[in-house]
Amino acid sequence: MILSNDSIVSISGLNKKGLLLYSTSERKKGFADLHLFPLTKQGKQYAFHSRKGVAESLAKFIKYDWIAFTSDQTGRSEVFISDLTKPDVRTQFSFEGGEEPRYDSVNQILYYRE
């Protein structure tokens, strides 16, 4: 976690393709956004960005080019998944509240905290 004047940067993950997943939070406004940063020049360039006015955080890489994350776009915290190759498509994964997704890559199961 990196602290600066009015924001917090938290590194969420690094995948095998050299893609860094991190979130930023603004202390005063309470917004949280997800970002992807390629650490290498090879490979795909992704255009995933958080939606404006929606807090999205606590993201984790899951299988292949997918991420799971917490979003408040429904009015409460829920877990969503998104294919990084189709960044505008977000699929709601939890429906009774959820956050902090975790992926078991051995059994290919996505868990989250209610």
- Write the single-letter amino acid at 72: D
pTM of full prediction above 0.85: no
pLDDT by residue for the chain (114 residues), tens digit each?
A: 555 566 677 777 878 777 778 777 765 556 678 877 777 666 566 666 677 778 888 888 887 788 999 999 899 999 999 988 787 888 999 999 999 999 998 999 999 998
Per the structure, the complete domain to which residue 16 belongs is given by 2-113
Q: b/e string for 48-82 if b means 16 or more Cβ within 10 A?
A: bebeeeebbbbbbbbeebbbbbbbbbeeebbbbbb
Query: In the chain, how many domains are there?
Result: 1
Q: Cα–Cα distance between 33 and 71 in angstroms, integer? A: 10
Going by their DSSP bridges, the two strands 2-3 and 7-14 should be labelled as antiparallel
**Contact (Cβ atoms closer than 8 angstroms) between residue 71 and residue 55:** yes
